[in-house]
Structure 1
Amino acid sequence: MTAPIETTESQAGSQPESVLKGVKASQIEGRSLGRIAWNRFKRDKVAVAGGIVVILLVLLAVLSKPIQAMFGLDPNEFHQDLIDPALLSPKGSWGGMSWDHPLGVDPQYGRDILSRIIEGSWVSLLVAGGATLVSVIIGVIMGVTAGFYGGWADSLISRTMDVFLAFPLLLFAISISASLQDGAFGLSGLPLRIAVLIFVIGFFSWPYMGRIVRAQTLSLREREFVEAARSLGARGPFILLRELLPNLVAPILVYSTLLIPTNILFEAGLSYLGVGIAPPQASWGGMLSTAAEIYQADPQYMIVPGLAIFITVLAFNLLGDGLRDALDPRSK
């Protein structure tokens, strides 16, 4: 009589589930695509570091007002007693750095640089995030429509993208921002400027997202699961919402994280040119614009907001690269 063969843990992976005995459920549990992508992402330490920095920046922007109230910071409070009237520069060394002002003060009015950096964080992230949301919504709708239906719809939308891509965005942004400074659409002041920046940047940058979504849709519409849905009688809207869009989440998410730093730089550039966020509201681009005029008096006033923009853009780029590698390892 032959003795029964015992199944070891090393052999468990090659045995059918119906004959497994004494094997833990965790050893045969399947993993979802999201979990596999998360495991890939965790192994990329650089991308994880970028994600941590992004989370901290978002928390800083959301909690900027409570943080300032907690520590008694006021980004627009003048400290003329900290400015040397003869040299027109902060008293002391390193731009007037002290325990009360860890990053120093600006040479014009003695305003605390740290509080202005914190105040400018929510402005930059709000404009960049809002503009990215607008461009993603329009780009996904246009890209999916063009890629799925094809024909005259594809031709019309593609030519519209070409027109938008050839449009002088910077000149248009400067002109419309300058013309709407007093008031429009029931808004005025800072809310108006933020709304104009979100509209201009988001509305004219959607073709970049639209092209990527269109290319992905052209590839997905020929896949077997789409043909299977058609054979079962599914119509176009159902296929778009239930079959194509879930498979487009990964490229949309990745490109969105790469689009945010571009919008941050664009907002900073407009504020630097004086047609973005108007003073006395603090913004990183506005601080750079002021620093360009007083660079010789206090170079630190340019370095600090420049580093803030650099770290933010770098963190979002690292996060986007990590998400791309995790969600689509074949892109490496």
Structure 2
Amino acid sequence: MTAPIETTGAAAEAQSEVVLQGVAGKRIEGRSLGRIAWIRFKRDKAAVTGGIVVLLLILVAVLSQPIQTVFGLDPDAFHQDLIDPELLAPKGAFGGISWEHPLGVEPQTGRDILARIIEGSWVSLVVAVGATLLSVAIGVVMGVVAGFYGGWVDSLISRLMDTFLAFPLLLFAISISASLQNGAFGLEGLPLRIAVLIFVIGFFSWPYIGRIVRAQTLSLREREFVDAAKSLGARGPFILFRELLPNLVAPILVYATLLIPTNILFEAALSFLGVGIAPPQASWGGMLTTAVDLYQVDPMFMVIPGMAIFITVLAFNLLGDGLRDALDPRSK
């Protein structure tokens, strides 16, 4: 059995230089919190798939008009020659699916379903994103102010949140949308309906995110960096927008991502009830409304817009869950 060879003197110094050269040859880089979150997010295959679907939906919604122009799609064109005059159902199998109409045509009217799905995508996205931005903006400001200042300010804003949460939102949205159908605020037609939906959905749903932001702010205001900012002479507005808000980006982003599918479903429900987007403008909820009356004639007409809503909501939920796990792994 041989004893270990000890390196001393010049040999040890030479070995240290070799190790240092190897370390210097391989550059060590630090990872930011954003990069670490991105690495976690990429490992979640379901979240990545949901993100890809969301990006495709956004591209289809933004480029809906060019797509229809390039492929010769017209969501309002009637094709009565494709409808059986006796059954009022599309001719052929599976709702009249063909190369010219990949998803078939509507019963009675013969309008192309693919064109109306593409046309309805931007309506759902504009309403959902607009309502989400409005509710997030109001909820974040109210929640941060209530959580940071506390006292009577917190009590006042909290009671205001309780008041808004007590509103029957669906009935209130139906009454407002129905009363403003003819024109208001210098708007009429489709722009008015979209503006009313964004206002009703966004303005009356801000307490949900307001409560989340308030709870996070109550915890953050006790941290050392807030005390350090106060000791340096920073005032309330500076601490709110320069110290607290950057630390609230993660929960706000996650909740906003999960709120968008909820607003998509709400817009579809209002259109389904006849107080949302009015025909002939295509919307997924409006297509479901028409499909209810024609379900016996062509069941596929109900399946396609229903699947469009299902896939969109599922993709946003998967993306939101992935962002939550990536930004806050302790929440698993």
Shorter-chain TM-score range: over 0.9
The Cα shift of 1:31 comes to: 0.8
Cα distance in structure 2, aligned partners of 1:194 and 1:318: 27
- In the other structure, the counterpart of 2:79 is 79
User: 2:119 matched to which residue of 1?
Assistant: 119
- List gaps (5 residues or longer) in structure 1: 13-19
Q: Which has the larger radius of gyration?
A: 2
User: Distance between the aligned counterparts of 1:319 and 1:123, measured in 2?
Assistant: 21
**Matches of 1:53 and 1:92 in 2, distance apart?**
31
- Normalised to the residue count of structure 2, the TM-score between the two structures is 0.95
- How many angstroms does 1:23 deviate by? 2.3
Consecutive aligned runs of 4 or more in structure 1 exceeding 4 Å deviation? 24-27
Matched with 1:17 is: none
* Post-superposition offset of 1:5: 5.4
Change (3 A) 1:25 1:237: farther
Alignment RMSD (CA, Å): 1.4
Query: Are 1:207 and 2:216 matched, yes or no?
Result: no
Which residue is 2:236 aligned to? 236
Partner of 1:319: 319
Shift, 1:28, TM fit: 1.9
Paired letter, 1:6: Q
Distance in 2 between residues matched to 1:21 and 1:125, nearest whole Å: 56
2:15 aligned with 1:6: yes
Name 2:36's counterpart in structure 1: 36
> Which residues of 2 match residues 120-135 of structure 1 at below 5 A?
120-135=120-135
Find out whether 1:273 has 2:273 as its counterpart. Answer: yes
Partner Cα separation in structure 2 for residue 244 and residue 25 of structure 1: 40
For 1:274, give the aligned amino acid.
G
CA 1:64–1:26 in structure 2 vs 1: closer, same or farther (change >3 Å)?
farther
CA distance in 1, matches of 2:283, 2:191: 14
Deviation string, structure 1 residues 286-322 (Cα, Å, up to 9, x no partner)? 0000000100100100000000000000000000000
Q: How does 1:86-165 map to 2 (within 5 A)?
A: 86-165=86-165
User: What residue in structure 2 maps to residue 216 of structure 1?
Assistant: 216
- TM-score, normalised relative to structure 1: 0.95
Q: Are residues 8 and 68 of structure 1, via their aligned partners in 2, closer, same or farther at CA, if it must alter by over 3 Å?
A: farther
Counterpart Cα distance in 2 of 1:70 and 1:7: 67
Distance 1:256 1:111 in 2: 35
Equivalence for 1:166: 166
The aligned runs of 1:181-200 (5 Å cut-off) are: 181-200=181-200
Letter in 2 for 1:299: P
In the other structure, the counterpart of 1:15 is: none
The alignment covers a number of residue pairs equal to 323
For 2:264, the equivalent position in structure 1 comes to: 264
Distance 1:254 1:26 in 2: 37
Shift, 1:24, TM fit: 4.8
> What is the CA–CA distance in structure 1 between the aligned matches of 2:54 and 2:131, rounded to whole Å?
17
Residue 150 of structure 1: how far off its partner (Å)? 0.4
Q: Distance in 2 between matches of 1:248 and 1:5?
A: 51
The code of the aligned residue for 2:296 comes to Q
> Once the 2 structures are TM-superposed, how far is the Cα of residue 114 of structure 1 from its aligned partner?
0.3
Which residue in the other structure is 1:226 paired with? 226
Q: For residue 23 of structure 2, give the secondary structure of its aligned residue in structure 1.
A: coil
Partner residue in 1 for 2:331: 331
Structure 2 letter corresponding to 1:178: A
Q: Deviations over 1:199-228 (max 9, x none)?
A: 000000000110010000000000011111
**Secondary structure at 1:23 match in 2:** helix
Describe the SS at the equivalent of 1:86.
Answer: coil
